[in-house]
Amino acid sequence: MSQIDQATDPKPASDATSNPVTEANSTARPILYSFRRCPYAMRARLSLLAADMDVELREVVLRDKPQSMIDASPKATVPVLILPDGTVIDESLEIMVWALAENDPHDWLMPESGTLDDMLALISQNDGPFKYHLDRYKYFNRYEDTDPAEHRRDAEKILNRLDGRLAVGKYLFGSRPALADFAIAPFIRQFANTDLEAFDAMPFVHLQRWLNDFLQSSFFERAMMKYDQWHEGDSPIIFKAA
């Protein structure tokens, strides 16, 4: 947007919990455990960029998760954000809302049309029904008695509704992007990349334009920079907003 895969974040959003993680107390910056291709971690990074917030980035390899991340968040899925006071936020949408509540220069929490609650309701549809069908379409071999074509069709019904919204406004809640656009787009990208030729052939011209805008945005470009796997004792890597 000019104005501007595989991992799960399965647990419903909950309040951030205080956890006195000693390592976080030694730095003035939050620490973010992330995995580049995970759509949940992706949207967390996008919000930190939008909030102009620098963090210490620790890139995780999912088959070799660092013990320090597991100690901070026993559910052991990315993203995990550790604040300087030791507070742990381990749900991606919570990270987004927390970061933007700290600083929201692009008004992502204040859409042009609708409200924050309206955006959260749409995001909930993405994180619930759409993600359910996406997983069984993309990773069908992980589930018994699953027909990926059936789940793709069910996912397309949700995409059709998004396309209808985008026919009315350039973005999901008006003429400029907001929280819902950046929270949902990483999952639409994952769906599209499962079979890009099939996605491009779908009659969702507004959705395709919207996704292309997202993929060409500076936020996405910066969020998708590659980093080596983090190991205990490595020099800090600062994920910089500017």
- Domain membership of residue 232 (yes or no) is yes
- Domain membership of residue 12 (yes or no) is no
| Domain residue limits at 92 | 17-105+221-239
Q: At what angle do helices 92-102 and 39-50 cross, to 10 degrees?
A: 0
> Do 85 and 129 fall within a single domain?
no
> Do 92 and 24 fall within a single domain?
yes
Return all residues near 89 (Cβ < 8 A) that are at least 6 apart. Answer: 16, 80, 81, 83, 95, 98
Look up residue 199 and give its amino acid. Answer: F
> What CATH number should be reported for the domain holding residue 69?
3.40.30.10
What per-residue confidence (pLDDT) applies to 24?
Answer: 42
Asked if 40 and 126 count as a contact pair (C-beta separation under 8 A), the reply is no
What per-residue confidence (pLDDT) applies to 18?
Answer: 36
> Do 225 and 212 fall within a single domain?
no
Query: Per-residue confidence of the chain (242 residues) as pLDDT tens digits?
Result: 444 333 444 443 333 433 333 344 445 899 999 999 999 999 999 999 999 999 999 999 999 999 999 999 999 999 999 999 999 999 999 999 999 999 999 999 999 999 999 999 999 999 999 999 999 999 999 999 999 999 999 999 999 999 999 999 999 999 999 999 999 999 999 999 999 999 999 999 999 999 999 999 999 999 999 999 999 999 999 998 87
- Domain membership of residue 38 (yes or no) is yes
- Domain membership of residue 187 (yes or no) is yes
- Domain membership of residue 202 (yes or no) is yes
> Do 140 and 172 fall within a single domain?
yes
> Do 60 and 125 fall within a single domain?
no
What per-residue confidence (pLDDT) applies to 27?
Answer: 52
DSSP one-letter code for 130: I
| Residue 131, CA atoms < 13 Å, CB-side half-sphere | 23
- Domain membership of residue 11 (yes or no) is no
Structural domain count, the chain: 2
Query: H helices within 63-130, ranges in order?
Result: 67-72, 92-102, 116-125
> What CATH number should be reported for the domain holding residue 178?
1.20.1050.10
> Do 211 and 130 fall within a single domain?
yes
Prediction pTM value: 0.88
What per-residue confidence (pLDDT) applies to 75?
Answer: 95
